[in-house]
Structures are given as structure tokens and as C-alpha cells.
């Protein structure tokens, strides 16, 4: 069956509109409990800083408790922190209330299994089957209980700090940290400070509505200005739920997920500890593939979505992968994409090598790449239009072997993403705009 509610990363939408209502959240909890939580099992629930998180937390708690599950309420903590605590508390299911990089009026619900991994398509389909029925309420003696865990942040903070060696491993590095006014607003600066860094926090004053607004990995302009203005060594920016990472070098130049992946893979290769191929996505810059190939490092592409990067890493025995957007995976350190842990790995490389971030990233030449988002009234498959496909084929012939064209439907919103890359920026922009106009007309 095709999934109705689950997208690339859980269920997501505008709060108050189907499916992001309190009623749906309670039914979703009931359905998930019936599929994944045995009688008397445990569920961990965390969230980011959105105003609607309180409502969804209560609705999910009610649905799980009514289905017989005990609930541990974590409060605001990065998504990867919930994945970690699901394992640490030996829970059957981890739940995160977050719409990641979206604005505050959106929210979402995503799950981790007992091993801290995202659910498979098959499990999500089973949950959707149960969503066709009303939420269940067991007899009183079979109901679950709920309690709040006050030590969650410290547990996750210590886990992150342990991913690099030594309490003073970042001493002498001046870091501007942008928490996107989101889930990492406390744990990020405190972890970096615990490791000896001089930390300047921005985007760390959430009010329920300012998550991802003018800050964070999707709007890093303030970070790029602040780093050179305060003579910092580097900038670190997470997204609202803390699973994406971008950085800024000492001059304020942005270092994206492809460049960070290059740095992580190159250092592990140099140290002889890189396992298997490096995995990116169909959107990863061609320059990353070429730069890794020059070192003899195999590079594979997965579908967009860190869950698909993770699947391919597991299939091939790889340990390092990620997306251009900053979803980074280092499976020798943790089980899922974790912006803070990946930032710590890059910062440790800077410290150990004595090289600034600009020099570490210089070995990868980024090919000019343009992305145009075409909003549609309804979700559509660009591959279903003969007119669009003909235009794509013509563009690919024009680029020959010096570039790529990728059209894909967003998994989280009604948008077609048109990506073109090649050696000539003017040519790339022209082709992208031309394709976007054709997609808009066909939609």
C-alpha cells in the first residue's frame, strides 16, 4: 500500500490542519503502540521548542497510556538525543514532536525503534493500517503511566561529549553556536563549553514562535556575519530539531553538508578507520564525488532523506554519509543523524590538525549548483509528465557529462525541487529556471 500520512521523515503538516491535530496525534500514538509496543512497554517522547509541542505531547501521552504503554517525557531535546535515550532507557519506541527546519506553525511526529533507528516503510504502513480504526482505551488496570525525566539533557550532553577525547579537547577554539531557537539551544552551548571551547551562543532564546526564524542551518546569515565580527575561529549552526548541521569558517564562508562530509571522510581515510563507501544522495554535489574519488574513496548515492542514506550505509557496511542540507551520519559514533556530534567531530579535526575550517574544506571544489522550488497545489510526481521528462532529457544533452539534472517531489511539502549543476554557473541557472517554468506550467 502507498502511505497516506508518513512522508520522508515522519508525519508533518500545518498545525490545526489534517493530519496535525490533537485527535490525529492520539490516534497515531494508539496505532504505533499496537504495532511496536508490547503490553507494559515503554515509550520516550521528546520535542523541540514549538508552541504546539505542548498540545501534541499531551495528545501522544494520552494515546500511548490508553493503549497500555508507560511514557517517559523528555521535553525539549534534539531529535538524535531522543534516539539515544530510547536505547539508554531500553524503551520500545522513541517519539519526536518536531517539524525540523520548518517554521513554528508547522509540526510533525516521527519515530525511532528500540535500537534508535528510524522506522522502515513497512512498519509505517502497518501503523497506517491501524490508523483506520479509533484509538483504543484498555481497562483501568492495564493503562500505562507517565513521568517526566529531569536528567535527559545531562545524559545526552555527556554522550555527545564522549564522542571526542578529553575534557579539554576543544580548548582554545572560539565558537559561535547557533541553536536555531530550537531543541539544541541548551545542550549545544553547554556541551561545547564542557569540552573547553569559548562559546558565543546566538539563536538560543526560544519563545515558541521563533524556531528557525532568521537563524539556524537554513538561515545562517547571522552566523556568517557574527563569526568574523567577533574574531571567532568557527561557527556551528543546527536546525530546529538538531539533526542538521552547517558551519561557517573563520571568514564567515558557509561550509555545507557536502563539504563537511568530505572533511569527515577524508580524515577517517587518512587515519585508516574509514569503513565501506561514503554515501550521499542524488542531490550531493558532483565536486564531492570527484574529490573523494581522487583519494580512492568509493562514493554512492541514495534517495534524498537521511533514512535512505542510513539504509545504504547499512547495506554496504559504510560508516559516514550525509546530505547537502547537513543531515550527517557518523555510525561509528551514533545511530542516527546528529548535528551536534558531527560538529564535534569536525571541531576535533580542526584542533588535532591545527588547520582552520577553510583549509580543511579547500580540497573539495564545489560545482555550481542551483535549486529552484516549484510549489504545486497538490503533490505530484514529475516523472509522470511527458512534457517535463522531455525537457529534462534536453537539458541533460546540453550539459553532456559536465553536469546533472535532478527533479524530485518533496517528501514533506507540495513542492517539486528542480536541481541543476554543472561547470558553468550561467548555464546552470538558465537551465534550472527554464525547467522550473515548465514544471510550474505542467503542475
Contact between 48 and 183 under an 8 Å Cβ cutoff? The reply is yes
CA angle 340/345/350 to nearest 5° reads 120
* Residue 1 pLDDT > 60: no
User: Residue 389: how many CB atoms within 10 A of its CB?
Assistant: 13
Q: Copy the grid coordinates of residue 236.
A: 556551528
CA angle 266/271/275 to nearest 5° reads 70
Alpha-carbon distance 411 to 257, whole Å?
19
Q: What is the CATH number of domain 369-442?
A: 3.30.310.50
- Residues 35, 38, 39, 41, CA torsion sign: negative
Choosing from 100, 163, 266, 284, which is the catalytic residue? 100
**pLDDT classification of 189: cutoffs 50, 70, 90:** very high
Contact between 184 and 190 under an 8 Å Cβ cutoff? The reply is no
Q: What is the mean pLDDT of the chain?
A: 95
Alpha-carbon distance 71 to 38, whole Å?
13
SS3 243: coil
User: Residue 152: how many CB atoms within 10 A of its CB?
Assistant: 24
**pLDDT classification of 196: cutoffs 50, 70, 90:** very high
SS3 366: coil
* Domain pair 255-361 / 369-442, same fold: no
The residue ranges of every structural domain in the chain are: 11-150, 156-240, 255-361, 369-442
- CA gyration radius for the chain? 22
Highest mean pLDDT among 161-165, 340-344, 396-400: 340-344
pLDDT of residue 442: 85
* Residue 412 pLDDT > 70: no
Mean pLDDT calculated for residue range 273-295: 95
Alpha-carbon distance 110 to 7, whole Å?
10
Mean pLDDT calculated for residue range 283-293: 93
Residues 255-361: name the CATH superfamily: Alpha-D-Glucose-1,6-Bisphosphate, subunit A, domain 3 (3.40.120.10)
Contact between 180 and 217 under an 8 Å Cβ cutoff? The reply is yes
Alpha-carbon distance 293 to 324, whole Å?
18
**pLDDT classification of 7: cutoffs 50, 70, 90:** confident
Alpha-carbon distance 343 to 160, whole Å?
10
pLDDT of residue 138: 98
User: Residue 136: how many CB atoms within 10 A of its CB?
Assistant: 15
| CATH among 3.10.450.40, 3.40.120.10, 3.10.129.10, 3.10.310.10 for 11-150 | 3.40.120.10
| CATH among 1.10.1660.10, 3.30.360.10, 3.40.120.10, 3.40.640.10 for 156-240 | 3.40.120.10
Active site includes 100? yes
What is the β-pairing status of strands 415-421 and 369-375?
Answer: antiparallel
* Residue 318 pLDDT > 90: yes
- Contacts of residue 425, defined as CB under 8 A and 6 or more positions apart, other chains included, come to 368, 370
The fraction of the chain above a pLDDT of 90, given in percent, is 88
Alpha-carbon distance 233 to 250, whole Å?
5
**pLDDT classification of 166: cutoffs 50, 70, 90:** confident
Phi first, then psi: what are they for 377, rounded to 5°? -65, -35
Task: Name the residue with cell 518536531.
Answer: 98
Tell me the pTM: 0.90
pLDDT of residue 221: 98
Amino acid at each position: 500500500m502507498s502511505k497516506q500520512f508518513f512522508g520522508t521523515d515522519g508525519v508533518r503538516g500545518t498545525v490545526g490542519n489534517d493530519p496535525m491535530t490533537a485527535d490525529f496525534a492520539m490516534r497515531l500514538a494508539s496505532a504505533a503502540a499496537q504495532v511496536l509496543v508490547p503490553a507494559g512497554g515503554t515509550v520516550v517522547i521528546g520535542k523541540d521548542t514549538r508552541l504546539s509541542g505542548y498540545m501534541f505531547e499531551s495528545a501522544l501521552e494520552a494515546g500511548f497510556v490508553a493503549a497500555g504503554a508507560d511514557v517517559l517525557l523528555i521535553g525539549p531535546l534534539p531529535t538524535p538525543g531522543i534516539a539515544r535515550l530510547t536505547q539508554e532507557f531500553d524503551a520500545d519506541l522513541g517519539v519526536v514532536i518536531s517539524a525540523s527546519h520548518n517554521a513554528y506553525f508547522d509540526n510533525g511526529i516521527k519515530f525511532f525503534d528500540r535500537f534508535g533507528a528510524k522506522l522502515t516503510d513497512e512498519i509505517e504502513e502497518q501503523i497506517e493500517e491501524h490508523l483506520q480504526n479509533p484509538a483504543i482505551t484498555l481497562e483501568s488496570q492495564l493503562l500505562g503511566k507517565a513521568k517526566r525525566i529531569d536528567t535527559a539533557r545531562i545524559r545526552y550532553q555527556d554522550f555527545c561529549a564522549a564522542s571526542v577525547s578529553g575534557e579539554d579537547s576543544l580548548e582554545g577554539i572560539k565558537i559561535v553556536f547557533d541553536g536555531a531557537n530550537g531543541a539544541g539551544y541548551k545542550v549545544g552551548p553547554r556541551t561545547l563549553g564542557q569540552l573547553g571551547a569559548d562559546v558565543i551562543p546566538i539563536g538560543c532564546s526560544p519563545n515558541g514562535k521563533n524556531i528557525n526564524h532568521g537563524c539556524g542551518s537554513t538561515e545562517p546569515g547571522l552566523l556568517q556575519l557574527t563569526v568574523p565580527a567577533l574574531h571567532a575561529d568557527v561557527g556551528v549552526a543546527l536546525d530546529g530539531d538538531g539533526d542538521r548541521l552547517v558551519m561557517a569558517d573563520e571568514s564567515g564562508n558557509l561550509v555545507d553538508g557536502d563539504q563537511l562530509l568530505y572533511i569527515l571522510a577524508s580524515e577517517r581515510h587518512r587515519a585508516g578507520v574509514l569503513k565501506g563507501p561514503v554515501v550521499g544522495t542524488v542531490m550531493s554535489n558532483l565536486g564531492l564525488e570527484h574529490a573523494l574519488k581522487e583519494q580512492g574513496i568509493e562514493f554512492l548515492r541514495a534517495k534524498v532523506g537521511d533514512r535512505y542514506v542510513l539504509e545504504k550505509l547499512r547495506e554496504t557496511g559504510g560508516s559516514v554519509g550525509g546530505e547537502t542540507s547537513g543531515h550527517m551520519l557518523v555510525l561509528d559514533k551514533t545511530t542516527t543523524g546528529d548535528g551536534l556530534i558531527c560538529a564535534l567531530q569536525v571541531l576535533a579535526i580542526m584542533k588535532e590538525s591545527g588547520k582552520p575550517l577553510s583549509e580543511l574544506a579547500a580540497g573539495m571544489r564545489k560545482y555550481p549548483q542551483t535549486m529552484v522550488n516549484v510549489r504545486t497545489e497538490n503533490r505530484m510526481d514529475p516523472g509522470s509528465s511527458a512534457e517535463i521528462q522531455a525537457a529534462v532529457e534536453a537539458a541533460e544533452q546540453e550539459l553532456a557529462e559536465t553536469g546533472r539534472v535532478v527533479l524530485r517531489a518533496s517528501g514533506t511539502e507540495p513542492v517539486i525541487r528542480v536541481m541543476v549543476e554543472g561547470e558553468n554557473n550561467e548555464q546552470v541557472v538558465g537551465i534550472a529556471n527554464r525547467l522550473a517554468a515548465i514544471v510550474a506550467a505542467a503542475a
